Amino acid sequence: MALVTAAIVSALLAGAASTTDPVGLWQTPVDNGLIRIERCGADICGRPAGSSRLRAMPDQRDVLNKDPALRGRLIRDIVIFRLQPIGPGRWGKGAIYNPKDGQSYQAELTVKSPAEVHLRGCVVFPLCQTQTWTRSE
């Protein structure tokens, strides 16, 4: 009986964890963008997985980067964010890089449901913008 109870509790906890797990492919509201969120140890990382611009110019480079040594890297190969867990379904204490302007912004990602996350980027609080991303896979 104890084994059955342990199995049920384990299954329930696994299901609860999946509702707050952002790992996967996400559609952004800008430029038909796709971002792949992956585990980076305890953190999560995001990489461009596609966009209208990347489909039109797959060899697009990071030409607006403030660091001249990084301007030759391919946009599709860069990690645009790395965020640390800060609570259930929440990651922050990191930044998101925007290759369209070469700037990095304070960032926080919150899982709202298994199909939706909110990404907030701030120049400095309260100068923030939030995007809603929807799961694509």
* Residue 118 near residue 112, CB atoms below 8 Å: yes
- Residue 7 inside a domain? The answer is no
- Residue 11 inside a domain? The answer is no
CATH code, domain carrying 51:
2.40.128.520
- Residue 15 inside a domain? The answer is no
Tokens 């939706």 label which residue? 116
Number of domains making up the chain: 1
pLDDT, tens only, 57-106: 999 999 999 999 999 999 998 999 999 999 999 999 999 999 999 999 99
- Residue 97 inside a domain? The answer is yes
- Please tell me the total number of residues recorded for the chain in this structure: 137
- Residue 118 inside a domain? The answer is yes
| Res. 18 pLDDT band, cuts 50 70 90 | low
- Residue 2 inside a domain? The answer is no
* Residue 131 near residue 117, CB atoms below 8 Å: no
- Residue 58 inside a domain? The answer is yes
- Residue 88 inside a domain? The answer is yes
Tell me the residue range of the domain where 60 lies: 21-135
Average pLDDT, the chain: 87
Residues pairing with 36 in the sheet: 25, 47
| Res. 20 pLDDT band, cuts 50 70 90 | confident
CB atoms near residue 13 (< 10 Å): 10
Q: What is the rounded (10 degree) CA torsion for 136, 77, 79, 28?
A: -30
